[in-house]
Amino acid sequence: MALKTVEEAVEALISQLPVKKRWEISRMEQRELIALHFSIGMDIRAKLGLHSGNEELLKACARLSDKEVVSPESASMIILTRMWKRLRETHRIKVIK
């Protein structure tokens, strides 16, 4: 997958997640996202080529974090956090009174 922007990456990753997993992630607190580093985070790094030359996506992540350079691990957390924010907007159960 040669995606070049964080938004493209988020859209592609969400489309591949089962609905149940989307809902589970949307219910997490931001501080809990680190627990996904060795599961979804590894998938993000592998599928998006963060360790194998997707420089455009790494640069896009660096821009979002106001840094010149980010590691593949940091980039995957930036993408995961953006995905979590999107899922909180779209996959939360709303209580109606």
What is the model's pLDDT at position 1? 55
Residue 2 pLDDT class (50, 70, 90 cuts): confident
In Å, what is the CA distance from 7 to each residue of 12, 60, 77? 9, 10, 14
Predicted structure pTM score: 0.90
What is the model's pLDDT at position 94? 66
Query: Could you read off the pLDDT of 40-93 as tens digits, one per residue?
Result: 999 999 999 999 989 999 999 999 999 999 999 999 999 999 999 999 998 876
| Residue 61: other Cβ atoms inside 10 A | 27
* Domain ranges within the chain, ordered by starting residue: 6-90
AA identity, residue 49: G
Residue 95 pLDDT class (50, 70, 90 cuts): low
Helical axes 6-16 vs 55-64, angle rounded to 10°: 110
In Å, what is the CA distance from 63 to each residue of 16, 23, 50, 56, 68? 25, 28, 15, 11, 7
Q: Is the pLDDT of residue 9 over 70?
A: yes
